[in-house]
């Protein structure tokens, strides 16, 4: 079910009836006649395939389905923030925001460019804000447009969660969980959790989006990603909640016949500055640990000639050169067992990073999303 197929007025009326128990109160709240509210409820019930209320002489009694949908709809409507924004307008605007141009958005949606222009223009009028502006030969969202797009995406995420919860009420496990995977999580933690979860809940789709924290935190805030798994930040970004899972201690890695591999794990700080390093960009947890390693040893960190966060690229560069890096053993377990790479030694000092789950701080997971988080937590 597409959440944009819901009529926002019908959702507002349903939320009002849950709160008051009266159709008459809901009709006044949404500026519809009582017959129109009754018809709207009937359409909602047909869409979800469930009764929302028990009709009684003394009023309307909300069913479990109504309580579930009302909770999600109220949050979604608050995000949309305007009574006059229609599903068609929201669909057109988000298609434009995703595509970056009317022609591409028209191809993606099957709508004409004229229809998209009209829908986005009408939405701008309804909101009283300019959402799109010309940039050279193309278009871009204004600052306000970007905020509106984020709020619309979060509203849709709420409604999708509500649809999944209604299906669960019917005894059906449906829906999709979108997981942001940062580098360390891809080696062992996430694959094992995903395999276990899928075996228990085969009807739930799992989508994995790979990237760095910088690449994934925006989609997380926008509701395009449900949760992010990987190294936590020392200070949680604004609007993001962090749940620790375990502490990881990276080790120094080099090629199997690296000159330092013969030292038997005994590392001198002077040796570490004698070889080139490949580590992620400044601001990442691993780069911070790398700098702390030299600070603890009382040695100025060497110049980093190659900055890279891709384990696949790092692995090949290590195999072909005298470069060193910091990685978790989980990230290169296969390469270590195959004898391609070697553990040069432990990082001097008590240095580590916390691996965990990042979510929006106002995120309310569905039962299945919560079960996936619990599956992750049991892996360590």
pLDDT digit string, tens, across residues 246-287: 988 889 999 999 999 877 656 777 788 989 999 999 988 889
- From 80, 106, 132, the end of a domain falls on 80
Q: What are phi and psi of 254, to 5 degrees?
A: -150, 180
Residue 54 host element (H or E)? strand 53-56
124 has pLDDT over 90: yes
Residue 150 lies in a domain: no
Instruction: List the domain range (segments joined by +) for residue 50.
Output: 3-80
> Do 224 and 371 lie in a common domain?
yes
Tokens encoding 111 = 């709508």
Tens of pLDDT, residue by residue over 308-362, are: 988 889 999 999 999 999 998 888 888 999 999 999 988 877 778 889 999 999 9
Domain boundary residue, one of 141, 165, 187:
141
Q: Which pLDDT does position 109 carry in this prediction?
A: 86
Query: How far apart are the C-alpha atoms of 32 and 9, rounded to whole Å?
Result: 9
pLDDT for 299 equals 87
Closest C-alpha to 72, from 270, 380, 365, 370? 365
Q: What is the pLDDT of residue 264?
A: 66
Q: What is the pTM of this model?
A: 0.83
Q: pLDDT digit string (tens) for 92-121?
A: 999 999 998 999 999 988 989 999 999 999
Q: d(Cα 155, Cα 76) in Å, to the nearest integer?
A: 4
- Would you say residue 258 lies in a domain? yes
Model pLDDT for residues 43-57, shown as the tens digit of each residue: 999 999 999 999 888
Looking at the fold, whether 330 and 259 belong to one and the same domain comes out as yes
Q: Is the residue at 199 inside a domain?
A: yes
Q: How far apart are CA 110 and CA 107, in angstroms?
A: 5
> How far is residue 380's CA from residue 375's CA, in Å, rounded to a whole number?
10
Asked if residue 267 is part of any domain, the answer here is yes
Residue 345, token pair as written in the block: 């030694």
Looking at the structure, tell me whether residues 131 and 107 fall in a common domain.
Answer: yes
Do 127 and 54 share a domain, yes or no? Answer: no
Instruction: Check which CATH number belongs to the domain holding 96 and give it.
Output: 1.10.10.10
My answer on whether 59 and 73 are in the same domain is yes
CA distance 69 to 371: 20
DSSP 8-state assignment for residue 302: P
Here the CATH number for the domain that contains residue 182 is 3.40.190.10
| Residue 132, CA distances (Å) to 36, 93, 109, 112, 122 in order | 35, 9, 18, 18, 12
CA angle, 179 then 336 then 208, to 5°: 10
- If asked whether residues 334 and 365 sit together in one domain, one would say no
Check residue 272 and give its pLDDT: 87
In this structure, the answer to whether residues 279 and 311 fall within a common structural domain is yes
């Amino acid at each position: 079910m597409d959440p944009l197929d819901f009529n926002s007025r019908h959702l507002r009326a349903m939320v009002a009836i849950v709160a008051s128990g009266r159709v008459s109160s809901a009709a006044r709240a949404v500026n519809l006649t009582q017959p129109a509210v009754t018809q709207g409820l009937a359409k909602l019930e047909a869409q979800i395939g469930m009764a929302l209320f028990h009709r009684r002489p003394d009023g309307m009694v909300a069913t479990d389905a109504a309580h579930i949908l009302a909770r999600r709809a109220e949050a979604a409507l608050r995000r949309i923030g305007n009574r006059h924004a229609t599903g068609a307008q929201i669909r057109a605007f988000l298609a434009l925001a995703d595509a970056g141009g009317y022609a591409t958005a028209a191809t993606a949606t099957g709508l004409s460019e004229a229809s998209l222009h009209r829908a986005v223009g009408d939405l701008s009028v309804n909101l009283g804000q300019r959402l799109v502006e010309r940039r050279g030969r193309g278009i871009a969202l204004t600052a306000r447009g970007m905020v509106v797009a984020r709020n619309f995406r979060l509203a849709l995420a709420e409604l999708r969660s509500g649809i999944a919860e209604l299906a669960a009420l019917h005894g059906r496990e449906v829906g999709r969980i979108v997981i942001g995977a940062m580098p360390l999580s891809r080696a062992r933690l996430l694959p094992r959790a995903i395999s276990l979860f899928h075996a228990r809940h085969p009807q739930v789709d799992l989508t994995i989006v790979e990237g760095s924290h910088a690449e994934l935190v925006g989609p997380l805030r926008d509701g395009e990603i449900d949760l992010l798994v990987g190294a936590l930040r020392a200070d949680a970004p604004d609007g993001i909640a962090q749940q620790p899972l375990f502490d990881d201690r990276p080790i120094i890695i080099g090629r199997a016949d690296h000159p330092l591999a013969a030292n038997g794990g005994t590392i001198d700080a002077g040796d570490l500055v004698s070889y080139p390093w490949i580590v992620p960009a400044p601001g990442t947890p691993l780069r911070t640990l790398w700098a702390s390693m030299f600070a603890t040893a009382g040695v100025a960190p060497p110049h980093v000639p190659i900055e890279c966060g891709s384990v696949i690229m790092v692995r090949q560069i290590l195999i072909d050169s005298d470069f060193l890096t910091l990685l978790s053993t989980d990230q290169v377990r296969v390469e270590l067992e195959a004898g391609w790479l070697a553990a040069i030694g432990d990082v001097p000092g008590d240095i580590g990073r916390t691996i965990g789950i990042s979510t929006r701080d106002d995120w309310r997971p569905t039962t299945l999303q919560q079960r996936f988080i619990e599956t992750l937590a049991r892996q360590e």
